[in-house]
Structure 1
Amino acid sequence: MKLVLTGAAGRLGSYLREPLAAMCDELVSTDIADDIGKLYAGESYIRADLADMKQIAPVLEGADMVIHFGAIVDEKPFEELLGPNFVGSYNIWEAGYQAGVKRIVYASSIHAVGMHLKSDFIGTDAEHRPDTFYGLAKCFTEDLGRMYWDKRGLESVHLRILSCAQVTNARALGSWLSYDDLIQLVTRAIDTPSVGFGIVYGVSNNDRAPVDNVKASFLGYRPKDNAEQFAEKILAEEGPVDLKDPGQMCHGGPFSSVDLGQSGLAQMNIVNDRKET
């Protein structure tokens, strides 16, 4: 089996490379970075721009599946996101179809439904309510994946990741996806025999998880980690909840309250614990 991983130079990509290389005959990692460090057995690296079909199409030749994690991972003005996050997704699906790829596993996001209230306990069938242009790109790609399945039979699994980073705030007590559970989720999205088109929330087995993932059980994803282990320390440090702040009441967190085009990550304490090879 040949797999292609986009966004290989990113933080989440750094944790996926080794397990992906171990489960296939050939892993092609790609990003726009000059290099990604030491390669694992069976892994090669190709520098390519997602927004350029002439660069990305050759990378997908002969691939069985694509794990598409490449994108700008923050809110930006629409014009900055258009190439990598919108056009880039189209290029992956169209190049994948032309190359005969069986399945695309996509790093979607809770920000596709970020304006829903956390108290609504939404499922994977919740209507799109993006909180930013970044979230809008996730909506676009989910709909793109559904269309390519309906019209062309190209399978895809869309992983609506809530927050895959160290637990540093009260929101993460519900939204946390551990790196081990991320790896399990991606693995199940690859090795499940048939998926058609599917959406699954990327979240660990948290006591306070604010979403209903029951309709994603067909993947066999059974998260093992729980953010409750961090609750006592985090809650002792947090201030009172502002019930008028969308950033505290909505699924998108700070992305729900920032102005369009303004960074959501700037309001979050994300620890860059990228895995080094």
Structure 2
Amino acid sequence: MKKLILTGAAGRLGSHLRGPLATLCETLVSTDIADNVTDLAPNETYVQADLSDLSAMVNLLQDADIVVHFGAIGDEAPFDDILNANIIGAYNIWEAAYRNGVRRVIYASSIHAVGMHKSADMVDVNTSHRPDTYYGLAKCFAEDLARMYWDKRGIEAVCMRIASCATVTNARAVGTWLSYADLIHMVTRAIDTRVTEFSIVYGVSDNDRSPFDNTGARHLGYRPQDNAEQFADEMFAQAPPADPSDPAQACIGGPFATVELGDSGLAGLNLAKDET
């Protein structure tokens, strides 16, 4: 592959992807709104750019084969903030991809697109949208945008509904954990699968208690290796009593299912300090 674009390259997940992506292409262009990033690979360049600027995205995506789109606000936030970064930003990526003849967009969607479904429902890739926040609503918009640009303009898309890609620090993550190694594997499969058309895949490791069914995404070749069951005893011992009437415990979105719209959902996840 000649040229890959990675948005959100200065973010936590983007930072984990830069090195592996650089090995898959002749040229990796990493971008974010940060002034710079460190430790560039020999074939990697960094471009500071704002997702809400369509002309900047059109220029950025010139001659690209595939875009790995991780740039966005990664938490619930006031609607105007979500609108600019996550909704308009997504439109600009797909429109820039179309104008440049990019063949595929790989998108960091989220389980918060279906966050109000119950964990016991065992959601799959055909489960209807049921967002838990403005953040989740923006993921629904981008997934529908991706489907439309495939149907109308032939741009392939892989929408990865990422679950809890962080150190396991709470009982919910025993089911929803996505290890960094499995994240890299999933993105790699989304890139090197020959034909994806429009696809959805749940970004979750091979957890015994996963509430997600990825059967409909097997064509992508994503076969996670890690399992959060190793953390189960410790996490359950320190968890509050089980309460099936509490949406934060019963719903896929966890605390995102109960926060006021516009308020942080990450604040209720007890993440490690370097992962907030």
Short-chain TM bin: over 0.9
Measured against aligned partners, the alpha-carbon deviations of 1:94-141 in whole angstroms (never above 9, x if no partner) come to: 000100101000000000000000011111100000000000000000
Secondary structure of 1:187's aligned partner:
helix
**Equivalent residue for 1:90?**
91
**Equivalent residue for 2:249?**
248
AA aligned to 1:87 is I
Aligned residues: 274
**Equivalent residue for 1:197?**
198
Q: What CA distance in whole angstroms lies between the structure 2 residues aligned with 1:147 and 1:167?
A: 36
Question: Quick check: 1:11–1:272 contact (8 Å CA) kept in 2?
Answer: no
**Equivalent residue for 1:106?**
107
Q: Give structure 2 stretches of 5+ with no counterpart.
A: none
Q: What CA distance in whole angstroms lies between the structure 2 residues aligned with 1:271 and 1:36?
A: 22
Measured against aligned partners, the alpha-carbon deviations of 1:165-212 in whole angstroms (never above 9, x if no partner) come to: 000000000000000000000000000000000000000000000011
Q: What CA distance in whole angstroms lies between the structure 2 residues aligned with 1:231 and 1:246?
A: 21
TM-score by length of 1: 0.97
* 9-18 or 264-273, larger mean C-alpha shift: 264-273
**Equivalent residue for 1:68?**
69
Deviation at 1:243, TM superposition (A): 2.0
* 241-250 or 224-233, larger mean C-alpha shift: 241-250
AA aligned to 2:245 is K
Deviation at 1:273, TM superposition (A): 4.4
1:126 equivalent in alignment to 2:127: yes
Secondary structure of 2:31's aligned partner:
strand
Structure 1 stretches of at least 4 aligned residues deviating more than 3 Å after TM superposition: none
**Equivalent residue for 1:270?**
271
1:260 equivalent in alignment to 2:249: no
Q: RMSD of the alignment, in Å?
A: 0.8
Q: What CA distance in whole angstroms lies between the structure 1 residues aligned with 2:88 and 2:73?
A: 12
**Equivalent residue for 1:179?**
180
**Equivalent residue for 1:236?**
237
AA aligned to 1:133 is Y
Q: What CA distance in whole angstroms lies between the structure 1 residues aligned with 2:155 and 2:172?
A: 35
TM-score by length of 2: 0.98
**Equivalent residue for 1:24?**
25
Q: How does 1:143-154 map to 2 (within 5 A)?
A: 143-154=144-155
1:36 equivalent in alignment to 2:46: no
Secondary structure of 1:195's aligned partner:
coil
Secondary structure of 2:38's aligned partner:
coil
Deviation at 1:271, TM superposition (A): 2.2
Q: What CA distance in whole angstroms lies between the structure 1 residues aligned with 2:41 and 2:180?
A: 18
